[in-house]
Structure 1
Amino acid sequence: MDVIFITIEVFAAGCMIAIITTLFIFKIIRDMRFRELESKAAVELVRSTVISKRKEQSKSTSGKFTGFAYFVVFDVRGEQMEMQILSEEQFRELRIGQKGLLQYQRKNRSLLFIHFDKD
């Protein structure tokens, strides 16, 4: 009887390992496909106007100051689009009311700022 229980336990453990491994592989494949599609997302170039700017303090999980995050809202054909600007220099160059060509890409349900050419 003991041999049967050990065999059932080993079989159950093997099934669990197979299920977990399959799910893990499925997730890796799905993430790779998503990243591939995301990297192929078209870069858009549109006329826009700078509507507003804001600077947020970034903090680590311990609450210590780590720097600033810069955000700009652009008006694109009547739609307001907020994007994070990674460079403080680019952030400072943008002026509220400024018009120009905005270059950006849609990534992972967010907008990736690439460049803004002033008129």
Structure 2
Amino acid sequence: MKKLILAIFLACLVLSSAQGGQEYGDGLRAVSRGEWANAVQYFTAACYNYNDNEAGSCKELGVIYEYGKGGAGPQRVKKNDALSKQAYAQCCKKSGGLMRECCKKVGK
């Protein structure tokens, strides 16, 4: 019985981790195509909706909001200091302080 519960737990962990990684990859592909609004959706999902260590998605999200991306087109993401700091704080937290560039942005 314990082995069955452990197997189910590990399967759930792997599936949630794979989904978070997929969102990060989708976000990077969206960035490479200049689809900034889509990238924000993918990075937000990976950063906030998954329990795995998606610090990279949080960092990318912070950068997009810190600088604003996409010009004046429909994929434009406006600069937003509050959302940028929130993403950087999540990056610092999820990385356990190892992503120093994120932690520095929020004074940690």
TM interval, shorter chain, is: 0.3 to 0.5
Please identify the structure whose Cα radius of gyration is greater.
1
Q: Of Structure 1 and Structure 2, which has the larger fraction of its residues in helix?
A: 2
TM-score, scaled relative to structure 1: 0.30
TM-score, scaled relative to structure 2: 0.33
Q: Of Structure 1 and Structure 2, which has the larger fraction of its residues in strand?
A: 1
Highest RCO, 1 vs 2 (Cα 8 Å, sep ≥ 6): 1
